[in-house]
């Protein structure tokens, strides 16, 4: 019976240590995550723009930033690419002048 309580105590200590380490891994509060932006700059003609933006969105969601906004700097995108970017949820097309005012 003594081994049961010792095992339970060790398991509790491991659980507390794991939870503490997970808090260090997530330093950004949940409310602050809604105000985080990812900035991407694309130059020239990109055939797989939609794939790139979806992949970036998936990578951000995997890190816990699923609701953040992607600011896409328009550095010579074609009209078709602009339409793709505007059509996607969570993506905002910006000019370089608009991005220059961000701190």
Q: Give tens-digit pLDDT for 4-29.
A: 778 878 888 888 887 776 666 555 55
> Mean pLDDT of all residues in the chain?
77
Per-residue pLDDT at 33: 55
- Are residues 72 and 96 part of one domain? yes
pTM of the prediction? 0.59
- Are residues 67 and 18 part of one domain? no
- Are residues 42 and 84 part of one domain? yes
Interhelix angle for 49-62 vs 79-87, to 10°? 30
- Are residues 84 and 50 part of one domain? yes
- Are residues 44 and 23 part of one domain? no
- Are residues 89 and 40 part of one domain? yes
- Are residues 50 and 10 part of one domain? no
Per-residue pLDDT at 2: 67
Mean pLDDT of 48-70: 82
Residue 91 has pLDDT above 60, yes or no: yes
* Alpha-helix residue ranges (DSSP H) falling in the chain: 2-25, 30-33, 49-62, 79-87, 96-100
Q: The tokens 């896409």 sit on which residue? A: 72
- Are residues 39 and 20 part of one domain? no
Supply the range of the domain harboring residue 40. Answer: 34-100
Domain total of the chain: 2
- Are residues 52 and 71 part of one domain? yes
Per-residue pLDDT at 21: 66
């Amino acid at each position: 019976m003594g081994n049961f309580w010792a095992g339970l105590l060790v398991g509790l200590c491991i659980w507390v240590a794991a939870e503490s380490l997970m808090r260090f891994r997530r330093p950004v509060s949940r409310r602050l995550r809604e105000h985080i932006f990812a900035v991407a700059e694309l130059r020239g003609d990109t055939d797989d723009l939609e794939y790139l933006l979806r992949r970036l969105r998936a990578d951000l969601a995997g890190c816990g930033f699923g609701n953040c906004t992607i600011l896409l700097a328009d550095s010579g995108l074609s009209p078709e690419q602009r339409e793709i970017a505007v059509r996607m949820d969570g993506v905002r097309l910006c000019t370089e002048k608009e991005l220059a005012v961000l701190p």
